[in-house]
Structures are given as C-alpha cells and as structure tokens.
A and B are shown apart, each in its own frame.
Chain A
Amino acid sequence: SAVISQKPSRDICQRGTSLTIQCQVDSQVTMMFWYRQQPGQSLTLIATANQGSEATYESGFVIDKFPISRPNLTFSTLTVSNMSPEDSSIYLCSVDIASTGELFFGEGSRLTVL
C-alpha cells in the first residue's frame, strides 16, 4: 500500500485569508481527488485533480474558491481562498493506489476559520 501525506494536519486561519493544503503520495497514482468533510458530516467530493490540466470540479465548487494544482503523479495542492467560518472543515486527499477503483484517503487537514 502507499503512504498518503497531507500538510498541514491542522491550522487555524483568519477570515479572508487563503490556505494551501499539500498532498504527497509515495508512489505514482493516476487518479487523485479532494474531498471535504464538514464538522460531524459525511464526505463530499470537491474535484478531481488532473495531472497536467485543469481540475474537474463537482457541482457547488468552483476554481476561484478552490484552486487545485497537480504538477505530477505524486503531488497535488488544494487552496481554500478568501476563507470564511463556513469553510471550517476537514479537507481530505484521496487516491486510487493501484488503479483498482478503490479509493484510499489521507489523514486529512483540519481547518478552522475564525
């Protein structure tokens, strides 16, 4: 199995600022995704991080608010822009390690916006 590392693991941010979350996988993966888990809630897919091209966003999520980069097959970043308290969530990176259709998740980045 692969190791999926996210940074930061947690952060407290001020309203109006932006934060970039990094996801590093210790092996090359084709498919990489970003999910959001609001407090006490389930997981919602934000976007698919496409290597070398623009991310594919789900309904309700836009590039201006959640810009994503995917420069290679082992790394991606998610930025939460112009944050408000409603953005307080756990942001999770997920990957299909062996191209089997099974998703594995990182430990998450817990963001609190004051």
Chain B
Amino acid sequence: GENVEQHPSTLSVQEGDSAVIKCTYSDSASNYFPWYKQELGKGPQLIIDIRSNVGEKKDQRIAVTLNKTAKHFSLHITETQPEDSAVYFCAASIKWGNYKLTFGKGTLLTVNP
C-alpha cells in the first residue's frame, strides 16, 4: 500500500520567514495530494491540494509543488504569521475521489513573533 513520509516533524521559524514542509510517497499511482492544517483542539482543515496533472499550485501565501518523477511534494508558506502555527499533515491518494487518504505523520510548525 501507499506510504507517506513527512519531514521535518517540527519546524520553528521567525515571523515573516518562509516555511517548507516536504513529503514523499511510495506508490507511483497516487495522483491526489492534499494538505491539512490542524490547530490545537480542532479538526484538520483542508488548506490546499494538488492533482498529478499540475506541478504547482498557489493560493495567496501558500503554495504546493509536486514532482511525480521523484515522488515528492512540498508545502511552502511565505511571510509566516503567528496564526500559521499548527500541525500540518500531507496526504496522498491512489485515485482522486476514492477518499482513502494515506497521511504523513505531521509537522508541528511554530511561528515566533
């Protein structure tokens, strides 16, 4: 089955700096890659996703890149703010719409004011 590795497990940055979280996946058939943000005491929130037919997607300060050849994808957050502090999870799905997401172990991002 699919295996998703995520790193780093913790990341601390200064406000205004950029943050990058990287994930690798094992199954070359995977074609849907969402990212979730989970704040303390809350459920995961979908923040951005990318499908295998594109290499990059951007939404304001957040961007995701995908390299299918290398089987890795990354989340980029620019101009970080304290409210970006949370746990971020990457995930992969063999087929978009089959909902069987395999999640990475998460990255605790701390943005220091």
Contact = CB atoms under 8 A, between A and B. Distances in A.
Interface residues of B, number: 19
Interface of A: 4, 31, 33, 41-45, 48, 58, 92, 96, 101-108
Interface of B: 32, 34, 36, 42-46, 49, 89, 96-97, 99-101, 103-106
A103 B89 contact: no
A92 to B, nearest CB: 6
Contacts of A58: 100
Contacts of A103: 34, 46, 99, 101
Contacts, number: 43
A101 B50 CA distance: 12
A104 B89 contact: no
Contact of A43 (B32, B44, B46): B44
Contacts of B99: 31, 33, 48, 96, 101, 103
Given A31-B99, A107-B42, 5 more contacts: A43-B44, A92-B44, A101-B96, A102-B49, A106-B43
A42 B104 contact: yes
A96 B32 CA distance: 14
